[in-house]
Structure 1
Amino acid sequence: MNKFFAKTAAASLLVAAIAAPAFAQNATGTIQLRGNVAQSCTITVQDQGQNLSLKNGENNKTIGSVTESCNAGNGYKITLASTNAGKLKSGNFEIAYQVNYDGQGGNLNSQMVIDRANAQFNKKADLKVTIPASEQYIAGDYADTVTVTIAAK
């Protein structure tokens, strides 16, 4: 019986070794997250529909309001351009004016560029105009168009 007992014990050890769970090695894996935010620059321009008093002049009169939004990380530019190079025109007659946009002023005989250093959302700014008074303006209906553009840098 000792022989039988020895064989049974050896068989039991062999079954235990086979049935024992194997110890796993440490393993790692990675999952990458990816996404994209599309560049978006928008501008909303609201014309105040002002009728300007040319003979009496205007001083920083708000003629429009602008809402700027641009998510470009390195900023964007606002450009103001005049159809008539910064002059109100009636036929061959013209009256020069000055603009002020968000604290930057000047004439629009060439484009005015306002540089924004970083992204901004729903930034509001007014467009104001100054026209010198004069008794010597020629009669007529005077007009100009200012175009406001936004572009990422």
Structure 2
Amino acid sequence: MLRIPTLAIAALLAAAGPAGATGTGTATGTLQLKGAVFKNCSIAIQEAAATLDIVGGETARQVATVSERCNSKLGYEITIVSSNSGVMRADGATAAYTLVYDGQVRSLGTPWTITRGDRSNKATTAVVGVTLPSTPNAVAGTYTDTVTIQIAPK
């Protein structure tokens, strides 16, 4: 007689299934989606067709426009470097100048870094100009310097 209740309990446990099962046959899992956007900056320089007047001098003469774009939430830096430290050269003759970048003026004797805040990946356009004192006794020649403008995310 003791066996009948034990068999009845065992039959009930078998019908209930494993511990934690609902008995509906349904199961749930999760999927985590991830995506990444890497920091990306770009710069485009549009040179103006400008030949600077060494003899007469120039005041903030526009020589280019620069389009800056960066998606870094921390902003970015523009670094400007002159190959000849802010001096145009022609066969040993020189003509020093200052650069105007987005309204700011500076000699390029050393690299110039401009810090920008977050622009939310929108293009910013900067006008580049040159101020050059007059050099009435300048030696004939083609005076040149190379200015490099770099953009980097912060």
For the criterion TM > 0.5, the same-fold answer is yes
* Cα RMSD after superposing both structures: 2.0
Identity within the alignment, %:
37
- Stretches of structure 2 lacking an aligned partner (at least 5 in a row): 1-14, 16-21
**Is this contact kept in 1: 2:102–2:127, CA < 8 A?**
yes
TM (norm. structure 1) is 0.77
User: 2:58 and 2:152 mapped to 1: Cα distance?
Assistant: 30
Matched position secondary structure for 2:122 = strand
Residue 13 of structure 1 is matched in structure 2 by: none
Considering only CA atoms, is the larger Rg found in Structure 1 or Structure 2? Answer: 1
Residue 3 of structure 2 is matched in structure 1 by: none
User: 2:56 and 2:83 mapped to 1: Cα distance?
Assistant: 24
Residue 50 of structure 1 is matched in structure 2 by: 50
**Is 1:36 aligned with 2:41?**
no
User: 1:141 and 1:126 mapped to 2: Cα distance?
Assistant: 24
TM (norm. structure 2) is 0.77
Aligned-residue offset at 1:33: 3.3
Matched position secondary structure for 2:34 = coil
- 2:71 is matched by which residue type in structure 1? N
**Is 1:137 aligned with 2:138?**
yes
Residue 107 of structure 1 is matched in structure 2 by: 107
**Is 1:128 aligned with 2:119?**
no
User: 2:49 and 2:109 mapped to 1: Cα distance?
Assistant: 22
User: 1:85 and 1:134 mapped to 2: Cα distance?
Assistant: 19
- Between Structure 1 and Structure 2, how many residues are aligned? 131
